[in-house]
Chains A and B, each alone.
Chain A
Amino acid sequence: MNTEALKELIYKMADDLLILGHRNSEWTGMGPLLEEDIAFSSMAQDKVGQSWQLYKILHTLGENDPDTVAFMRNADQFHNAQLCELPNGEYDFSLIRHFLFDTAELLKYQMLANSSYTDLANLAKKVKGEAKYHSMHAKIWIKQLGSATPESIERLQQSLDVALPYALGMFEKSPYEKEIIDEGLFGGEEVLMEAWKAEVEKIISDTKLILPDWSTIAPVYGGRKGVHTKHLQPLLDEMSEVFKVDPTADW
């Protein structure tokens, strides 16, 4: 087994989930409706919780302990897609990002349930329910707001247009793509992206939103290799502010 390839695969997932879970948690207490506030927070917790489990797997592969890995790295050591680190904006953007990300996440976990790496396959099976619920939540919201008032449709459309290039950036290929596929660790970004596109098309077609032709969207790559927007480092500084007061202390 190619451990470097495996670690890269897991880091990308873990960092995605941590950063997006963190972003989503910023909404707690400020959502558009009490009930949705609660629902959105649960999904943020699920994501951070899943990332924790993934960092634990990395720890078994020789990486540092989860807290150190999550709270002590700098932006250029993170492998999350840039989509995850963008500021929350208003609810339209947060929802669109949630929809684009979680549609991919559910498919990814479904693929990983057959991974040749047992720890990952087991985790994928365990979180299937959570991923399914997140995708269900996203679908219901997008279908409704995407067909409601002129304002809601316009807001979602604008956010969709902004988010799509970053969303395609999620599928940036790994330098180990071939090994990953050949060893049966994961079916690969190409397969995932095609399945994701089909699902996104299906859901958007039930709304009044317009999905541009995929060929006209230039993916924003870089996140997987540690290249990030200006938003990630401040997020990390904020996240680790207390932890870094004394990283060796027991908090």
Chain B
Amino acid sequence: MYGGGNVFEAMKATALADEDPKKLAEFEARIDRGEKIEPTDWMPQLYRKQLIRMIEQHAHSEIIGALPEGTWITRAPGFKRKLALMAKVQDEVGHAQLLYAAAETLGKPREQMIDDLISGKSKYSNIFNYPAFTWADSCFISWLVDAGAIVNQLANSKGSYGPYCRALERICAEESFHLKYGHHCVIHLATGTKKQREMMQAAVNRWWAPMMHFFGPSDKISVHSEILMKWKVKMASNDECRQQFLDMYVPKIWELGLTIPDDKLRKNTETGLWEYTEPDWDEFKRVINGDGPCNKERLAVRRIAEERGKWVREALLAPKAKYVTPLA
């Protein structure tokens, strides 16, 4: 699961000056024809760099995203929930594996990506820096954070880079189980006992602001990404994804008798767009830069997992092994 809160680097005007204009034209023509770019194809450095950054962030978001939900993996109530949550968190780890592999085809080995995650050099979806206080928080994540991720991933799966699209196709197929499972959990809480309803409402109250942040800063203040749109790296703007999410899910939240903590939230019948209180983008920036409630814990857990697994990996490494980039 993952949001559109990508951190794209601001691009320099000279970024394409060094590229061979003929090759660049062929590359762009291929994308215009709707063909996929494959790892061995010529591509501008900027395309490679931004894709690595984006896919890597996506992969990190999956592996870190396994942690807030994992908070409840040993406490899921009843067999069906227990098994489903185990399978779901497992899927998130599986998605990380697929995405790291897609990023590797662009030339960055997984070791380096994990290093950059743990050192804080590369980012992951901001929403996972918030804690899952109760079982209901895990249900919110399974349903709505995954729903947000699907909006974004479905858009990206129509992008231009072959290996990323193929990974996303697999991922989206599995997300349909996550989404249904999460919705099922939320329905049971929201239509359940008084205590269950209260738990669920409290979770919605806690998670709404991070959920609005999830799609990234408003287009008004985002880094310009026209060229990334043209190259089909970025497929939909942050605000487009946010609107789509609100349109699909706010009615489903309301029909369960849950309230959303934003008194300005409404659909403008004239524009067809949702209106809402502008999210606090300063908080978004502060959290993504390390100052959220769980940043430290998330990275510490990842680091300890790597360190505790080191002897296992060292023991198994064949002396003559050599690294080869995945083919496709």
Give the interface of A toward B (CB within 8 A).
22, 25-26, 28-38, 41-42, 44-45, 48-49, 52, 55, 66-67, 70-71, 90-91, 144-145, 148-149, 151-152, 155, 238-243, 245-246, 249-251
Contacts and interface: CB of A to CB of B under 8 A. Distances in A.
B188 A251 contact: yes
Question: Top 9 A-B pairs ranked by shortest CB distance?
Answer: A32-B309, A152-B315, A148-B315, A29-B66, A41-B90, A243-B77, A251-B77, A32-B312, A242-B77
Query: Among the interface residues A42, A145, A240, A243, which one has the most CB atoms of the partner chain B within 10 A?
Result: A243
A33 B301 CA distance: 14
Contact of A25 (B73, B195, B311): B73
A144 B315 CA distance: 8
A249 to B, nearest CB: 5
A37 B79 contact: no
Interface of B: 63, 66-67, 70, 72-79, 81-83, 86-87, 89-90, 92-94, 96-97, 100, 135, 185, 188-189, 192-193, 195-196, 301, 304-305, 308-316
A242 B315 contact: no
A36 B316 CA distance: 13
Contacts, number: 131
Given A28-B90, A33-B309, A148-B316, 5 more contacts: A29-B70, A30-B304, A32-B305, A34-B100, A38-B94
Secondary structure at chain B's binding surface: helix, strand, loop or mixed?
Answer: helix
A36 B92 CA distance: 14
A245 B195 contact: yes
A246 B193 contact: yes
Query: Among the interface residues B72, B86, B89, which one has the most CB atoms of the partner chain A within 10 A?
Result: B86
A243 B78 contact: yes
A4 B63 CA distance: 46
Contact of A41 (B74, B86, B192, B195): B86
Given A34-B63, A34-B97, A246-B193, A67 B308 contact: no
A73 to B, nearest CB: 14
A220 to B, nearest CB: 24
A42 B90 contact: yes
Contacts of A37: 90, 93
B221 to A, nearest CB: 34
Contacts of B97: 34-35, 38
B314 to A, nearest CB: 6
Given A242-B76, A249-B196, A29 B93 contact: yes
B315 to A, nearest CB: 4
13 contacts: A28-B70, A28-B90, A29-B305, A30-B305, A34-B97, A38-B94, A48-B83, A52-B83, A66-B79, A91-B312, A242-B77, A245-B195, A251-B81
